[in-house]
Amino acid sequence: FLSIDCGGTANSTDELGTNWVVDDGYIMTGKSAKVQVTNTYAQEDQTLRYFPFQKKSCYVIPGVARGRKHMVRTSFFYGNYDGKSSPPSFDLQFDGNPWLTVETSSSESYYHEVIYAPKRDNISVCVAQTSPDRIPFISTLEIRELETGMYQTNSEEDVLLWRNRTAFGAKDFV
């Protein structure tokens, strides 16, 4: 498991026992910032890394098992970090492939997941600017290698995208 607190200043462990590491070893560009509006979901969402000078910026995760399914999860919490009260939208890519356009808001965290088998021994996750006034950012990045046989598809080329997760009847945050 690899859980990266993008823009974080110190490694930490959350209440579920997940170890979060700072992102210094995975990206060389961008700037760290703290959000101004806090949410109650996760401590690691209180910082982010934003990219004001590059049209496209990529995290590179080395040492993954080529051909094995991996889950890549990203989160985005704007939290008015720049004081502009103008949540941006921008593109998200994995291994050079278009993933989706990220839409953000001032008060909500947004999560996006993909499950796929990398063709190389590293995974790259990129944010790309779509308009000059829309600065991309990222709050967290998680990589999980999955057990053999999980999420079987017809081809190693198949990609599974997360659309929605609902906890019916749950009284606690899942």
- CA-nearest of 32, 113, 59, 167 to 102 is 113
Give the range of the structural domain holding residue 82, as residue numbers without chain letter: 2-21+32-161
Res 49: pLDDT: 97
Q: Is residue 111 part of a domain?
A: yes
**Whole-number percent of the chain with pLDDT over 90:** 56
At a CB cut-off of 8 Å and minimum separation 6, what does 168 contact?
none
**Tens of pLDDT along 32-50?**
999 987 666 677 888 999 9
Q: Is residue 170 part of a domain?
A: no
Res 1: pLDDT: 87
**Tokens, residue 74:** 């990203």
| Whole-number Å distance between alpha carbons of 138 and 83 | 17
Q: What is the mean pLDDT of the chain?
A: 87
Q: Is residue 146 part of a domain?
A: yes
Q: What is the mean pLDDT of residues 51-59?
A: 95
Res 162: pLDDT: 61
Q: Is residue 171 part of a domain?
A: no
Res 45: pLDDT: 81
For position 56, which CATH number holds? 2.60.120
- CA-nearest of 139, 144, 137, 165 to 43 is 139
Q: Is residue 173 part of a domain?
A: no
| Whole-number Å distance between alpha carbons of 94 and 123 | 7
Q: Is residue 68 part of a domain?
A: yes
Provide the pLDDT confidence category of residue 15 given band limits of 50, 70 and 90.
Answer: confident
| Whole-number Å distance between alpha carbons of 2 and 17 | 13
**Tens of pLDDT along 78-109?**
999 999 999 999 999 988 888 899 999 888 88
| Whole-number Å distance between alpha carbons of 173 and 32 | 28
| Whole-number Å distance between alpha carbons of 67 and 148 | 10
Res 156: pLDDT: 65
In the predicted model, is pLDDT for residue 167 greater than 70? no
In the predicted model, is pLDDT for residue 165 greater than 60? no
Give the chain's domain count.
Answer: 1
**Tens of pLDDT along 98-151?**
889 999 988 888 899 988 888 899 999 999 999 988 999 999 999 999 887 766
